[in-house]
Amino acid sequence: MSKPLVIVESPAKAKTLARFLGNQFRVEASVGHVRDLPENASEVPESIKKESWGRMGVDVDHGFKPYYVVSSDRKGRIRELKAAVADAPEVLLATDPDREGESISWHLREVLKPKVPVKRIVFHEITEEAVRDAIAHAREIDIKLVDAQESRRILDRLYGYMLSPVLWKKVQTGLSAGRVQSVAVRLIVEREEERRAFRRSTYWDLDARVKAGDTQFTAGLVRVGQERVASGKDFDPNTGALIGKNVRLLDEAAARAMREALAQRVPWTVSSVEEKPTTQRPSAPFTTSTLQQEANRKLGFSADRTMSAAQRLFQDGVISYHRTDSTTLSDKALREAARAIKGMYGDAFYGGPRQYQTKVKNAQEAHEAIRPTDFEQTPQSLSLPPDEARLYDLIWKRTVASQMAEAQLLRTTLEITATGADGTPHVFSATGKAIKFAGFLRAYVEGSDDPASELGDQETILPKLAVGDRVVAPGQGPVTLMGLDPKAHETVPPPRYTDASLVKRLEEDGIGRPSTYASIIQTIERRGYVWRQGKALVPSYTAFAVTHLLKEHFGQLVELGFTGRVEEDLDQVSNGELDRTAFLEQFYNGQEGWPGLRHLVTNEDRIDYPVIDIGSDPASAQKVVVRIGRYGAYVQMGDANASIPDDVAPADFTLEQALTLLREKTQGPQSLGADPKSGLPVYVLNGRFGPYVQLGEVPEKGSKEKPRRASLTKNDRPDTMTLARALELLSLPRLVGHDAETGQDIIANFGRFGPYVKRGDEFRSIGADSDVFTVTLDQAIALFKQEKKSGRGRTATRTVLREVGLHPASQAKVEILEGRYGPYVTDGTTNASVPKDVAVESLTLEEAVGLLKAREGAPTKKGRGRAPAKRTAAAAGARKRVAKRSA
C-alpha cells in the first residue's frame, strides 16, 4: 500500500522524522534547493542567452520574471523524488518554517508537478507531537512568503551581477558586491578608520587600599574639590585632547605628589554610605541573533560555527527551530520549564510564566524562541558531539533562567574623604554588590559556563561602615589605610567588530536578517574582505578600496538606512502590503529621490581606481598611498612600491612603516654576509607573508629558479637578525633521523602553528623554537607514540561539522569535518576540501560524493598537506559545480 510522501530539506531531518512517523509515511529529502537562477553561462537557457539581461537569469524588461534552472548535480535527486511522488497518494511539503523553506516547497511543487493533493506543513520543533499536529493542520503554500523570498533573491542577483563587474575592472578580478555583504564590510572598514584616526592619551589617578577587619577593598579618587578627576571618556578620540568640562587632569608628577601629601593627612573620614536594593531580571530566551552573540562571547564560536551546530541540534529534534526573531515560548514550553525549575532549584526560584517582548522590527513569522524540545533532557543527560553539547548547554540554561525569579541584589557605594594641605577635599569612591537571593543566577550567569563556581564572582563585598568612621594609619584603629597607588591609564581606540558585536549592530540597524548573518560573515571572510585576529574581524586593504569606491560612486546602495528600508519593503511583500513587481521596479528603475540601480551603473568611466591615502613623506612631500594589486596590497610613493605583509591591520600600518618598506625596497635587501659553504649572500627581506631570509640573489622576474628562503619565527626580528641565525633558519627542514619501525624519515621544521616534527603525514608539536635544532630521533619517536594533542593540551578529536548521508556506492558514512585548513568532506577513505565559498550546512550528498570521486587517487602535495597544485579536470569540475552556489 502506498504511503503519503513527506519531503524535507536534509537527510538528517528526514532520518529524525522517520523515527517516529514509522511506517505510516515515506520521508524523503530534497537536499536543499532543487533549482535556482543560473550561476554560469552554461546554465543560461538558450532562449535568453542573447538578451542583455540573459546572464542574470532575470527579465528586467517584463516584470522581473526569473528563469530557474535545475543544476546537473540535482537532476538525479529530482528523478528520485518524481518517482516517489508518482507512488504517493498525497504529498506533504515539510521544509523549514520560514520564507526560505516556503520558497523551497513552492519550487518542489513546480518541479515535481504532483498529480495528487499537495499540502504544506510547518513545525518549529522536530518532535512527534509537533509534527503530527502540523499534519493535522496542513495548509496551502503561502504565495506571499514565496514572493518575498523570490524578491530578495532577484534583488540580490541584480545587485551582485551589476556591481561586481565594476569592482573587477576598478579594483581586482574576482571580487564581489552584495546588498548586505557590502554594508557589513563598510561597518568593519569604518571602525578600522576610527582606529586609524584615534590619538592615544595618558592620564593618571590614585587608588587607596583600605582594610576594615578581614576585608580589604580599593577606592579610586573621583573628585578634587568640585572638579571630577579625568577618565578615558573625557578625551577626544580623534585628537587626544581633553574635552571634559570641569575636570582635573592628573599627570604622573601630580599623582605622585598627591600621594605623598595625602598619605601624611590621615585620618580620613567615611563621608557617604549609600545602600540600594535592586533586582536583576533574567534575559529573554535566545533568538538567532542573541544566540550567535552569546556563543561568540562565551564559547568563542563564530556565527557560522554556531549556526552549524544549531542546525544539527534542530535536525536531531533536540531544540526548536533555530532561525527565529521571536522571544516567546509556547504554553507547553512554559509548563515544562516550570517543572524543571521547581524540581532542580525549588519553588522559590520559579518566577514565571514570563513572556518577553520581541525587539526586532517587523519580526518574521510566528516562531518561538530557540529552546529545548524536552526540558527533562538536561545538558548532562545527553551525549552530544562537543560543539552541539556546549551550545545545547547554553540554550538549556538560558531558556530555564528566563522563567526563574529575579535576582535580589544590594548595591553599596562608599565615599571616603581626605583633606589636602590647603583644605581641599579629595573624595575616593568604592562600589560593591552583594547577592541577597540568587534567583536565575543559579542557572545562568552571563559570561560563565559554570554558574555554581562563578556565582561568587558576581559579588563585590564591601565592609559595613558608617558615615563618620575614621580611616587611620595601620595599628591605630579598625579601619586602616594600607597604601596609596598612583595608576597610569591610556585611552583605547574603539574595539574592532567581533561576530557578536557585528551581529548586534546589523540587527539594530535592520540590515539583513538574523538567519543570514552567519553566511554574511562567512562570505566576507572567505572572499578576503576580513581576516581574524583572535575574535576581532580585521578588514583587508581590499575591503578599504571596495568600500571607498562604493561609498563615493554608489553611496545610497551601502547606506545603512537604505539597506534597512529594503528589509522593511520585503516584510511588506511577505505581508501582502506591497506588490512584488512594484518593489523590484522601484529598486531597479528608480523612484522619486532614488535614481535606481540601472542608472547608477551605466557610467563606469567616471570611476577612478581607488587608493588609500596614508600621508606624505616629510622629506619629499610626496603622497604615500596603498593600492591593490594582483598579489595583494602594496604601498606606493612615486615610482617606488613595496608589498604590505598580509597580517598587518590597516589601523596599525603607520606612515613610518610604509616609508621603511619603501626605503628597504629602493635600497635593496639588507645583506647579513655570505654563507661560508656556498659563498652566496644571505639577505633579510620583507614580503607579502612577512619578513624572511634568503640565500642568494633576488631572481629575475619570470625566473623558474627560486633561491632558498625561510620565514622568520614570531621570536625573530629583521633588525636584530644575525648571519648565524639566518643560516640556522635556512638549514630547515632538518632531518632528525630514520624511524626503522615505520620505514619513514622524521624531519623537524617550523610551521603555521609553531615548531613540529613530521613523519609521513603525521605531525607532533614540539616545545621551544630551539628544539627544532636539538630534538633527537628517540625524543621524536617518543612523541609519535603519545596520543596526539590539539589546542591547549587537549586530546585531538574529530570535530564533525555535519553528517551528509551514506555514500551510494560504498554505503560508508559521508561527513564534513573541521580540518586544519578548513572544512573537508570524507567517507573514511578519501578526503576532499569543501570549496571556500560554500556553506557547510548547504553541501548536498551528491555534491559531496562528486568532490570525493574527483579526489580518489589524487596525489598529496608534499609539505603542508594542502590540495595538489594541479587538479585533475574531474576535480576542477566537481569543485566548480559546488562553488557556483556561493553567495
327/319 Cα distance (integer angstroms)? 14
Helix and strand totals (H; E) in the chain:
24, 35
35/107 Cα distance (integer angstroms)? 7
Identify the H or E element spanning 623.
Answer: strand 623-629
Q: What is the residue-wise DSSP string for 469-511?
A: -EEB-TTSSSEEEEEEEEEEEE--PPPPPBHHHHHHHHHHTT-
Q: How is residue 17 written as a grid cell? A: 522524522
Within 10 A of 552 (CB to CB), how many other CB atoms are there? 11
| Residues designated catalytic | 321
> In angstroms, what CA-CA distances link 750 with 675, 694, 696, 712?
21, 16, 21, 9
> In angstroms, what CA-CA distances link 249 with 229, 235, 244, 483?
6, 10, 10, 22
163/711 Cα distance (integer angstroms)? 39
Q: Could you identify the residue written with the cell 543527560?
A: 381
> Torsions phi, psi of 279, nearest 5?
-120, 150
Q: Is 854 in contact with 872 (CB distance < 8 Å)? A: yes
Question: What is the 3 state secondary structure string of 719-763?
Answer: HHCCHHHHHHHHCCCEEEEEECCCCEEEEEEEECCEEEEEECCEE
Strands 247-248 and 227-229, sheet pairing:
parallel
Q: What angle do CA 308, 314, 318 make, to 5 degrees?
A: 125
Q: Could you identify the residue written with the cell 622629506?
A: 619
120/92 Cα distance (integer angstroms)? 6
The tally of CA atoms less than 13 A away on the side-chain side of residue 582 is 7
Q: Is 409 in contact with 435 (CB distance < 8 Å)? A: yes
- Greatest C-alpha distance within the chain: 101
Closest CA to 75 of 39, 115, 31: 31
Q: Where does residue 498 rank: exposed (0-12), middle (13-18), buried (19+ CB within 10 A)?
A: buried
Our CA dihedral for 685, 686, 688, 689, rounded to 10 degrees, sits at 80
Closest CA to 430 of 407, 414, 442, 447: 414
Q: Could you identify the residue written with the cell 569592482?
A: 167
Q: List the strands of the sheet with 670-674, edge to edge.
A: 670-674, 681-687, 690-695, 708-711
Number of residues in the chain: 887
> In angstroms, what CA-CA distances link 627 with 200, 530, 543, 635?
27, 17, 11, 6
Identify the H or E element spanning 709.
Answer: strand 708-711
Which residues in 659-697 are b (16+ Cβ under 10 Å) and which e?
A: bbbbebbeeebeebeebeeeeebbbbbbbeeebbbbbbe
